[in-house]
Homo-oligomer: A and B are copies of this chain.
Amino acid sequence: MAVTLKEVAQRAGVSRSAVSRTFTHGASVSEKMRRRVERAARELGYSPNALASSLTTGRTKLIGLVSNNFHNPIFLEVFDLFTRGLQDRGLRPLLVNLTNETAPENSVRMLRQYSVDGVVVASSTLPPGFSKAFRDANVPVVHSFGRYSSAPQVHIVSIDNVECGRMVARTLVARGYERVAFLGGPESATSTQDRFAGFMSEMSLHPQVKTTHTFADAYSFDAGRNEMLRLLQSEPAEAYFCGDDVLSIGALSAIESSGLSVPDDIGIIGLNDMEMARWENINLTTIHQPIREIITSSIELIVAMLDEPDRYPEARIFPSSVVERGTLRPLPDNAPSTG
């Protein structure tokens, strides 16, 4: 169906190698030959078959983009940035949706069958073993938004979720809250575990502040709303650290429909700083996660691994910061406001 190299060679009256070489960067071809071949190619509408060439070169320029997070709006931005970043470098994202998938082997096998040059795992709700499965299969892998580890087995590009938890704790304490709570995402997510651990460890330095915790089923609006509705039935805390912005928005909705007001009755702080957090009618105080930087760095890393597959695994951790908006009470007068 499609025009092949052979036909171009015939038309131009040259060998197949000559045609191949004009389309291979850095190969030895004279100007005259190049023009001749290019003309024939143009006339025939030829463009080389990337898959056939991958057979000998061993490079497909295919990158597996693996995620199980197709419900948190922040991941639309993640996919946007990843796909554009990869495309800009001539790489092609093969998207793998891991939702409901428990066996990493299947995805690993599939991606190997397609000879992907590398894999980016973008999710915080997958166990670290998942990305390791790719490494074990000897395919270069970067785990973006994964769990920080001081002895990483695969490349990690992420934030320090433990530190985020601490940061929130300090923020709430500084504002004088005396009963605070953690409203986390699914307890199985490493991000939830780490944020929780950091939060609790910092709060333990302030024993006068009563600290409680609870977990929602998912990082979703409904989960946040339902959990908060439940909490409002007994004695709620003064401020909640929600494990994620979507959870926060669900919680806000529950509070408002109970006739209470934010931040006067209850304070909320989220995590992610998704686009929506800026929206006037949400205006969520939250922790900014530097998505753009994480993704840029992840792409640089996977590109580097193409040339150096056995590169020693590293963890790249980007700093997060509090974004003051309207869902926490302001700092008391004796402290300088950061808003």
Contacts and interface: CB of A to CB of B under 8 A. Distances in A.
Interface in A33-91: 47-52, 54-55, 58, 60, 62, 65, 70-71, 73, 75-77, 79-80, 83-84, 87
A47 B108 CA distance: 11
A279 B109 CA distance: 39
Interface stretch (A127-135, A174-182, A253-261, A298-306): A253-261
Contacts of A93: 94-95
How many copies of this chain are found per oligomer? 2
Contacts of A79: 70, 76, 79, 95
A283 to B, nearest CB: 9
A27 interface: no
Contacts of A252: 281
B80 A92 contact: no
A104 to B, nearest CB: 15
Interface in A271-305: 275-276, 279-281
A60 B79 CA distance: 23
Contact of A97 (B51, B52, B83): B83
Interface stretch (A112-120, A209-217, A311-319): A112-120
A1 interface: yes
A47 B250 CA distance: 45
A138 B1 contact: yes
Interface string A203-246: 00000000000000000010001000000000000000000000
Contacts of A164: none
A92 B281 CA distance: 39
B76 A73 contact: yes
A99 interface: yes
Contacts of A62: 94, 114
Closest 5 CB pairs of A and B: A70-B80, A83-B97, A253-B281, A50-B113, A253-B280
